[in-house]
């Protein structure tokens, strides 16, 4: 079930031209918790980009526009950080608003399908009730 996301939003424009909206505060909370866990377990932060993004999200008072860029999915860009794990986690929690290109109805829920192949690869897909693929993410690569 999608419960929505309070403003200010991070609008994540997907390559399919659909839009996912998340709360800046929810993204900040996830990043801040992950940063604290990483510092506690390793003694240092492996990516300053995460801290920079957390600081931006913490003080955000306006909507932020981010475009999905599948050619540079890494943890060094805002788009990459969202794509790698933040979007999946927030969609699983239902803390999002989904706007589909060309449609006026906003989906109230998404189906999540987790796929695992024989080589250890893992993928997560989110679908509308009428089986339209909204978002797909690679969780782990196989051999």
pTM: 0.86
**pLDDT of 99 strictly over 70:** yes
- pLDDT for 72 equals 64
Residues 6+ apart with CB under 8 A from 137: 83, 84, 87, 88, 123, 124, 125
23-32, 46-55, 97-106: segment of lowest average pLDDT: 46-55
Among 3, 10, 14, 12, CA closest to 24 = 10
Q: For 51-91, how does the pLDDT look when each residue is reduced to its tens digit (9 = 90+)?
A: 888 888 888 899 988 888 766 666 677 888 888 888 999 99
Spell out the domain ranges in the chain: 9-108
**pLDDT of 143 strictly over 80:** no
Q: What is the mean pLDDT of the chain?
A: 88
């Amino acid at each position: 079930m999608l419960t929505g996301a309070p403003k200010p939003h991070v609008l994540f424009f997907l390559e399919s031209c659909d839009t996912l909206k998340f709360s800046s505060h929810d993204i900040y909370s996830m990043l801040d918790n992950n940063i604290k866990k990483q510092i506690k377990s390793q003694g240092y932060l492996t990516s300053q980009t995460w801290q920079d993004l957390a600081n931006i999200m913490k003080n955000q008072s306006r909507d932020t526009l981010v475009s999905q860029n599948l050619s540079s999915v890494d943890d060094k860009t805002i788009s990459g950080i969202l794509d790698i794990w933040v979007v999946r986690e927030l969609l699983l929690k239902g803390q999002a608003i989904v706007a589909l290109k060309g449609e006026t109805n906003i989906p109230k829920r998404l189906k999540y399908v987790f796929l695992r192949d024989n080589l250890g690869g893992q993928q997560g897909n989110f679908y509308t009730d009428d089986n339209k693929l909204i978002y797909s993410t690679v969780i782990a690569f196989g051999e």
